[in-house]
Amino acid sequence: MLSRFSRLLRTEALANTGSLARDLLASERTFLAWTRTGLGFIALGIALEKVEAFAQLAPQLLQLHNTEDTKIAAGALVGSGTLCVAHGTTRYFGSMRDLRAGVFRPNKVGVIGLAVGSLGLAFAGTLLVLQSDRKQHHERDETKDQKMVDSSRSRVRS
C-alpha cells in the first residue's frame, strides 16, 4: 500500500528543453493561485458562519435577523472555495500531462466558471440583503401599527 502511494507521488524526470521547466513552474504558481482563491472563499464562509454563531450568543451586539440566509451564504462560499481548489488541482495535473505531450490548452472553463460563479454569488448575496432589509422594514411598520392600535384602544377605554 505504501509503495503504491510513493509511486503515485514520485514524478518522472523530464529533460529541461526549451521552456518546459518555466512552463511547469508557471503551472505550479497557477495551481497555488487557484488554491489561495479557494481557501479565501472557504475562510470567508467559515467566518460568516462564526459571526452568526456569535450573534446567537449576544444578539444585542450583532443584529442578524435571518440566520437561515447566513447559513446558506456560508455554505455557498465554502462550496465555491472547495470547487475552486478542486479545479485548480485537476487543472495542474492536466497541464503537467499536456506539457509532457508538448501541447497546451487554455483554461477557458475555469476562468469562465469562476467569473460566473462569483457574479452569481454576488447577485444572490445582494438579493438576500435586499430581502432581509425589506422584511425588517415590514416588521418595523407592523410593530408601529400595532402600537398605534393598542394606544388608541387604551385611550378609548379611558
Q: Please give the pLDDT value at position 86.
A: 93
Q: Please give the pLDDT value at position 18.
A: 66
User: Identity (one letter) of the amino acid at 138?
Assistant: H
Q: 149 pLDDT band (50/70/90 cuts)?
A: low
pLDDT for 15 beyond 90: no
Query: Mean pLDDT in the chain?
Result: 80
Q: Please give the pLDDT value at position 1.
A: 67
pLDDT for 155 beyond 70: no
Q: 152 pLDDT band (50/70/90 cuts)?
A: low
pLDDT for 64 beyond 60: no
Per-residue b/e over 110-123, b at no fewer than 16 CB within 10 Å? beeebeebeeebee
pLDDT for 104 beyond 60: yes
Cα gap 95→97, rounded to integer Å:
5
Element housing 152 (H / E): helix 108-157
The three cell numbers of residue 70 are: 447566513
Q: Please give the pLDDT value at position 6.
A: 66
- Output phi, psi for 17, to 5 deg: -105, 135
Q: 145 pLDDT band (50/70/90 cuts)?
A: low
- 3-state SS track over 12-60: CCCCCCCCHHHHHHHHHHHHHHHHHHHHHHHHHHHHHHHHHHHHHHCCC
Cα gap 20→42, rounded to integer Å:
33
